Structure 1
Amino acid sequence: MNRQSGVSSLAMVLLLLVLGSLILTGLNQQLETFSALVIGESNAIRHQAGVQSALEWGKVQQWALQPDVQCRQPAQQSRVCLRLLNDNQVLLIAGSHDLLLWRLGGITEGRIRFSPHGWSDFCPLKENALCQLP
Structure 2
Amino acid sequence: MKTDFKQIYTSSGFSTILMVIILMVVGLVLLIGFNLLIASWQKNILIETQYYQQFNQASSSLTWAITQNWQKPKANWYCMTESTYQLKACIKKSLLRIDKYVLVRGEAKDFYLYTLAHFDNNRLIVEKGHWLDYCPEKRAIYCE
TM tier relative to shorter chain:
0.7 to 0.9
Q: Secondary structure at the match of 2:45?
A: helix
* Between 82-91 and 23-32, the greater mean CA deviation after superposition: 82-91
Give distance in 2, aligned partners of 1:32 and 1:85.
44
Which residue number corresponds to residue 92 of structure 2?
83
* Between 119-128 and 15-24, the greater mean CA deviation after superposition: 119-128
Which residue number corresponds to residue 49 of structure 1?
56
- Residues 27 and 127 from structure 1, CA distance in 2 versus in 1: closer, same or farther, beyond 3 angstroms? closer
Which residue number corresponds to residue 74 of structure 1?
82
Bigger RCO (CA 8 Å, 6+ sep): 2
Give distance in 2, aligned partners of 1:21 and 1:58.
55
Which residue number corresponds to residue 11 of structure 2?
4
Q: Which runs of 5+ in 2 are unaligned?
A: 1-7
Deviations 1:88-126 (A, max 9, x none): 421211123322211111135775311221410111223
Q: Which amino acid in structure 2 is aligned with residue 106 of structure 1?
A: H
Query: Is the CA contact 1:90–1:104 (under 8 Å) kept in the aligned structure 2?
Result: yes
Which residue number corresponds to residue 120 of structure 1?
132
Q: CA deviation at 1:24?
A: 0.6
Query: Is the CA contact 2:105–2:115 (under 8 Å) kept in the aligned structure 1?
Result: yes
Based on CA coordinates, which of the two structures has the bigger radius of gyration?
2
Give distance in 1, aligned partners of 2:129 and 2:58.
17
Give distance in 1, aligned partners of 2:122 and 2:67.
16
Deviations 1:15-74 (A, max 9, x none): 101111111112112211221121111111111111111111111112233x52531012
- Residues 85 and 40 from structure 1, CA distance in 2 versus in 1: closer, same or farther, beyond 3 angstroms? closer
Q: Which amino acid in structure 2 is aligned with residue 79 of structure 1?
A: K
Query: Is the CA contact 1:103–1:115 (under 8 Å) kept in the aligned structure 2?
Result: no
Q: CA deviation at 1:13?
A: 1.2
Query: Is the CA contact 1:90–1:105 (under 8 Å) kept in the aligned structure 2?
Result: yes
Q: How many residues align?
A: 131
> Normalized against structure 1, the TM-score is what?
0.80
Query: Is the CA contact 1:52–1:101 (under 8 Å) kept in the aligned structure 2?
Result: yes
Residue identity over aligned pairs, in percent, reads 26
